[in-house]
Structure 1
Amino acid sequence: MGQPCITQNVYEAANERLEVVFSEFDNIIVSFSGGKDSGVMLHLVLDFMKKRHIQKKVSVYHLDYEGQYTATTDYVSKIFQENIDLIEPYWCCLPVAAQSAVSMYEDHWVPWETEKKELWVREMPDFDFIINEKNAPFDFDFHGIWDYEFNRRFLRWHHRQKQASKTILLIGIREQESLNRYAAIHKKESMYENYRFTTKIFPDIYHGYPIHDWLVEDVWTANAKFSWPYNEIYDLYHLAGVPLRNMRVASPFNDSATESLKLYRVIEPAMWSKLVGRVNGANFTSIYGGTSAMAWKDIKLPKNHTWKSYLEFLLTTLPAETRNRYLKKFKTSIHYWTDRGGALKVSTVEELKRLHLDIEFLGKPKSKRNYTNEMEVVRFADYPDDLTIKDFASVPTYKRMCITILKNDYACKYMGFGQTKLELEKRKRALAKYNDIL
């Protein structure tokens, strides 16, 4: 079979998608975090509007997590102020729950709580378009709800406010970033008119991913080629030796940001001193994240323990709610690997065969899932305590469970659970609660 003929580059493909967006949707919202991907996406939209002399404004939505770099705030401020003739800004500084992966006792924190104003990491921005508790125009209660749920409710509220026929929220995520993002983009149960860069969220409301196929090198090439302003925190990341793939702007306490939490101490020490007092566990994670204390390196089994017994000990040290959350996931894993069986790379399966364990090898997966590697399904007679395998994180062991706890990995991503920001059961309960209200 010959190689596919590529007739356009990713920049041209993104603009072709924007042609669809602006011709098909009467209500367009751009999600703008202040990071590199959402920044490039917003610049693409603004340039598209300027070249075609589009007068109708697009909405730009920024959820401010309080604990962000000054460079991020400066960048968002610059983009909003310089493009106010093209955009309708929604800069939200609201007390919505955000994930905290730095403490075993708290799975979330709440930015911009009025009663904790003395602990705020920074002053609230002072622009006419800032949305806070005092002036929030929403017809729903946002206090304490999870950020992902607020995003959904904001989207539906905006659709109603604009009396829109069709709404699309453009999100700057790229499938190169993670398998979870790849799955989200390519989950095609429902699209708009078979456009594969769209996903239906609610009736007449869609998500769009104009730059889903861009590589990180494409992002920086575009910034250089078109002289687009970008968040200067990335320059400091570069000077600090952070690889391109690890440069991210996010809420500092979520599970994708804990590795870079220590950078706050170097890049912005004044803010760091406030972050330490803001969320329980921030200082410990910044010091020990990436070390054996947080299970990022080889951990040693305590004397007179198996990994299973060590796991049982670790579970006793956790608060009841946290312990029960882990137990539910661990039981699911045990059932999956010893009853149904799971798919592993063929190379990993060959390693397992050489270990002469009580394992059934069940052949190729029968599911319709598209795998990037050749896979084989295996079923364990007993859940292993530990295995000497090159791709250790892919195989089920009690040691892997111990590492998951030591990493404060609430969502159990290390064990292969396909979740995004929050634990699956909380998400299901929240969605069930609010879907009937809206």
Structure 2
Amino acid sequence: MTPKKIPLKQDVLQASVERINWCFENFSRICLSFSGGKDSTVMFHLTAMMARQLQRKISILFVDWEAQFSHTITLVEAMREQYKDVVENFYWVALPLTTPNAVSQFQPEWVCWEEGANWVRQPPDDAITDINFFPFYRTAMSFEEFVSEFSEWFSESRPAAVMIGIRADESYNRFLSIASTKKLRFSDDTPWTTATPKGHAYNVYPLYDWKTADIWTWFAQSGETCNGLYSLMYQAGVPMRHMRVCEPFGQDQRQGLWLYHVLEPERWALMCERVSGANSGCIYASGSGDFYARRQINKPDHLTWREYAFALLDSIPESTAEHYRNKIAVYLRWYQLRDYPIDIPDSQNSDTGSKDIPLWRRICKVLLNNDYWCRALSFSPNKSASYKRYNQRIQEKRQQWKVI
């Protein structure tokens, strides 16, 4: 049963302040995950103000993606200076991390701050660039692995809060991650908390019920520091739902690549040299129907969706195609053992939303969208340390299954 939204008897600002105060009452160690975006900036302001009132200290985690807007870096530096009296540790991370590159099938992932690469910009002098700073760090580990390991390391094996500025209205998946009744919470009356895998740290979402209008209303009424990039985005005609401040080459974020071209042409030239597919992503990522399609997709009239999927696999680099074949084989095998012993359907009318409906059309959507980890097929990223073994095991299984 899909969780339902239940209105509260207070406004979102009051509710958030209470949640932040609850964090200080229940945790001796608090860290904010800060990106420089509007949501995490509001969370930073509210939490730092509360810390001043309570005479407490907080820590900040900022993952620097190397390819970042100058306005974002300016904001991060300004926030660090504004609240230096309550910030105990500011972890400005500029280490090689692997993240999806949704604008290339030749380089479906890229590594920021990669050793030997011609970086887009230099990290600040006080940024964490020493690979030995964190005992858990592994070279080019994924971002998801890093933040998970960081939370456990930060907790020091004791209860700790890691505050994250995500909102349920941003996407259906984010709504479910907060509203899920299956996850482990701090307590039954704190649905806006989630226990991390090892159980010592808890992710806390104090702004989970805010809407975009609430965010901008707070900035307008408070007059507090905000990322100047948003004003430039507004002037450039970017819809509010597409205003994002984070690493630039993800499936959602790539729609804003053209802004680098317009606002920071010198940095854009370095990004095109640094990351495969950057320029093509700038040209095509805002379109629809074919390349990089998000919802509506097209196919050649003479092919079925199944035939089109195989044609797409044959058209991309073999190493990338083999990665997709392994994922698709697991997907087909799962449904073969359940509702579709012969084959999944080619298409049907209601298959363009977020719900995973087993269809060859959906598989084509994954391939056209450069969805490298096949999230639209309900997969999660593999841990980098075990990915090679996973590939070998699935390749052997495919010989038995004979599904692709």
Alignment TM-score, normalising by the size of structure 2: 0.85
**What is aligned with 1:277?**
273
C-alpha deviations, 1:121-164, integer Å up to 9, x for none?
112123x4x21127x5322333211111111222222222xxx7
**What is aligned with 2:79?**
79
Which residue type is aligned with residue 101 of structure 1? A
Q: 2:18 aligns with which of 11, 16, 26?
A: 16
**What is aligned with 2:401?**
none
Is the Cα contact below 8 Å between 1:95 and 1:142 reproduced in 2?
no
**What is aligned with 1:314?**
312
Rounded to whole Å, the distance in 2 between the matches of 1:122 and 1:284 is 21
**What is aligned with 2:291?**
294
* 1:253, distance to aligned residue in structure 2 (A): 1.1
Rounded to whole Å, the distance in 2 between the matches of 1:230 and 1:115 is 34
C-alpha deviations, 1:16-54, integer Å up to 9, x for none?
11121001101000110101111111111012123x2x3
- What does residue range 405-420 of structure 1 map to in structure 2 within 5 Å? 405-413=367-375, 416-418=376-378
Is the Cα contact below 8 Å between 1:57 and 1:86 reproduced in 2?
yes
Rounded to whole Å, the distance in 2 between the matches of 1:190 and 1:282 is 39
Is the Cα contact below 8 Å between 1:25 and 1:165 reproduced in 2?
no
* 1:382, distance to aligned residue in structure 2 (A): 5.1
**Is 1:231 aligned with 2:188?**
no
C-alpha deviations, 1:326-345, integer Å up to 9, x for none?
2344345445666645xxxx
**Is 1:261 aligned with 2:261?**
no
* 1:166, distance to aligned residue in structure 2 (A): 1.8
Distance 1:49-1:169 versus aligned 2 partners, 3 A rule:
same
Rounded to whole Å, the distance in 2 between the matches of 1:6 and 1:140 is 41
* 1:306, distance to aligned residue in structure 2 (A): 2.8
Is the Cα contact below 8 Å between 1:96 and 1:145 reproduced in 2?
yes
- What does residue range 195-274 of structure 1 map to in structure 2 within 5 Å? 195-201=190-196, 202-274=198-270
**The residue matched to 1:106 in structure 2 has which SS?**
coil
Which residue type is aligned with residue 60 of structure 2? V
Q: 1:28 aligns with which of 18, 27, 30?
A: 30
Identity, % of aligned positions: 33
Rounded to whole Å, the distance in 1 between the matches of 2:290 and 2:6 is 48
* 1:304, distance to aligned residue in structure 2 (A): 4.3
**What is aligned with 1:137?**
133
Q: 2:39 aligns with which of 37, 40, 54?
A: 37
Rounded to whole Å, the distance in 1 between the matches of 2:59 and 2:164 is 13
**What is aligned with 1:185?**
178
- What does residue range 378-417 of structure 1 map to in structure 2 within 5 Å? 383-387=344-348, 389=349, 392-393=352-353, 396-413=358-375, 416-417=376-377
- What does residue range 41-190 of structure 1 map to in structure 2 within 5 Å? 41-50=43-52, 52=53, 54-87=54-87, 88-116=89-117, 119-126=118-125, 128=126, 130-133=127-130, 137-160=133-156, 165-188=158-181, 189-190=183-184
Rounded to whole Å, the distance in 2 between the matches of 1:114 and 1:334 is 39
Distance 1:239-1:380 versus aligned 2 partners, 3 A rule:
farther
Higher-Rg structure is 1
Q: How many equivalent pairs are there?
A: 377
Distance 1:155-1:300 versus aligned 2 partners, 3 A rule:
closer
Is the Cα contact below 8 Å between 2:100 and 2:372 reproduced in 1?
no
Is the Cα contact below 8 Å between 2:152 and 2:200 reproduced in 1?
no
Rounded to whole Å, the distance in 1 between the matches of 2:334 and 2:217 is 44
C-alpha deviations, 1:322-372, integer Å up to 9, x for none?
22332344345445666645xxxxxxxxxxxxxxxxxxxxxxxxxxxxxxx
Q: In angstroms, what is the RMSD of aligned CA positions?
A: 2.7
* 1:255, distance to aligned residue in structure 2 (A): 1.7
Which residue type is aligned with residue 15 of structure 1? V
**What is aligned with 1:305?**
303
Larger displacement relative to structure 2 (317-326 or 151-160): 317-326
C-alpha deviations, 1:46-75, integer Å up to 9, x for none?
12123x2x3332001101000010000000
**The residue matched to 1:61 in structure 2 has which SS?**
strand
Q: Structure 1: where are the runs of 5+ without partners?
A: 342-378, 434-438
C-alpha deviations, 1:253-311, integer Å up to 9, x for none?
12221111122111221111111011111111111123344153865543643332222
Which residue type is aligned with residue 193 of structure 1? S
**The residue matched to 2:121 in structure 1 has which SS?**
coil
Rounded to whole Å, the distance in 1 between the matches of 2:292 and 2:103 is 14
Is the Cα contact below 8 Å between 1:338 and 1:382 reproduced in 2?
yes
Distance 1:159-1:314 versus aligned 2 partners, 3 A rule:
same
